[in-house]
Amino acid sequence: MMPENIRQSSTLFHQIRIADFVALYFSLTGLGLQMIAYEKDYYNMISDIETSTEKQHVQILMWIAFSFNLIHVISLVLRHLIYFKWLYVKRLITKYDTLTTTGYWKTIMGEIVIQSIIPFPFTNELYYFESNGRFKAKNIVFKYNHILLAFMTFSRIYQIIKALLLITYWTSPRAQRICGINGSKAYYLFAIKSIMKEKPYKFLLTSLFISVIQLGYCLRIFERQLTSQSGQDFNLMSNTIWNVIITMTTVGYGDIYPKTTMGRLIGVVVALWGLFLVSIFTVTLSNLFTFSNGEQKAFQLSDRLKLKDELRVSAANVLGSSFKSMKVKKLHSEDKDAIKNAVNDYKKQAIAFFQIAKAVRMAQTLSSDTDHLRHEISDLMKKIKEMDYAQAQLKDICKAHGPQPVI
């Protein structure tokens, strides 16, 4: 197999990035138009008067959004074709491999199906109904397009994450070559792990912000119809965001909560995603209070110096209490209580002294063991280098004398 053409592979990788952002532009534009159409359609549903002109406006918006999403899907297909060509230039596949033989067509079809799940103009008149006995609400009207819009927000968030990860250093051609040398792959998961290691707080805050807005909007879609019956105003994004944050952090005040079937399903997603974010936050916070190598050495040295200072103070206290007890015995030989108190004070100071002295010895022993191990490792590395040098000299001698005749 021929070696990789680095210049050509880098050019194709930049084309993949461009195709990803072109697809992202059309997908987000389509999502924005669908959200505008949903808001207009919702207010048409709850208003007493709904004219054919208003319905027509919604249909026009949805058809324009549908066109943008169609271009988005075509852009994704072109992006995958460029990616497949890039795999060949990277020598990850041969010239005899095709989309069918490699099974890559399944990946393309799967992404096409996922990204094609959007609110369609011709399904906007399909309704389903729910009831809530607690709030005496019957025949609450929903559209199947509401479910499709909620799913569309999830798929577009996935598209945003993919495009942003593709412009990071951790998926760049250089990172891919380094990973290839070390037997790994610079894919999206590697980029996520690298960002979490490099900038954990930025990763957490960004994930929290995006998920709170997106999940809050999905909750608003399915819960705002019960606002008048329940008295819980889910029309306001601030209330839905509050509910999402409280659910994510497992607090659950219960002042507002989802009541519809799809709203509760979104609540389950919020709870599970919240567990994931809280666990990452716990690990990140734990790492925050973990010493680095330099900090650990500085702490150990400072701690030993602090213990030595305390040992000097304790030794002075022992001498002072000893002198005091001797003075009390000499001046107040008949006062047994005074003598007893002076002796007890001396014993107390002596015990404290021995405890601090023991801590100093332990710290010195730990430091000595660490230094001894460090010296042994250093000596071992020197011996390995000497052996390598001797082996290289032996090879040079063998080459200089040539092969020995066979007797």
Average pLDDT, the chain: 85
Confidence of residue 371 (pLDDT cuts 50, 70, 90): low
Give the Cα separation of 342 and 181 in Å (integer).
Answer: 74
What token pair was written down for 398?
Answer: 């063998």
Q: Which residue has the higher pLDDT, 267 or 229?
A: 267
What token pair was written down for 276?
Answer: 């994931």
For residue 12, pLDDT beyond 50: yes
CB 390 within 8 A of CB 382: no
Q: Give me the count of residues in the chain.
A: 407
Nearest of 109, 100, 29 to residue 77 by alpha carbon: 109
Give the Cα separation of 199 and 273 in Å (integer).
Answer: 20
Q: What is the DSSP letter of 48?
A: S
Its pTM stands at 0.75
Give the Cα separation of 375 and 379 in Å (integer).
Answer: 6
Mean pLDDT calculated for residue range 92-106:
91
Nearest of 209, 188, 204, 194 to residue 284 by alpha carbon: 204
Structural element, H or E, at residue 231: none
What token pair was written down for 130?
Answer: 């729910």
Nearest of 314, 294, 299, 295 to residue 363 by alpha carbon: 299
Task: Tell me the backbone φ, ψ of residue 356, rounded to 5 degrees.
Answer: -65, -40
Q: Which residue has the higher pLDDT, 212 or 285?
A: 212
CB 218 within 8 A of CB 266: yes
Confidence (pLDDT) at 406: 43
CB 269 within 8 A of CB 215: yes
What token pair was written down for 49?
Answer: 């008067």
What token pair was written down for 99?
Answer: 């989309």
For residue 118, pLDDT beyond 70: yes
**pLDDT (tens digit, 9 = 90+) per residue, 27-85?**
999 999 999 999 999 988 877 666 778 888 999 999 999 999 999 999 999 999 999 99
Q: Say which amino acid occupies 338.
A: A
Q: What do you get for the CA distance between the two ends of the chain, in Å?
A: 44
Q: Say which amino acid occupies 299.
A: F
**pLDDT (tens digit, 9 = 90+) per residue, 284-337?**
888 777 777 777 777 777 888 888 888 888 888 888 888 888 888 777 777 778
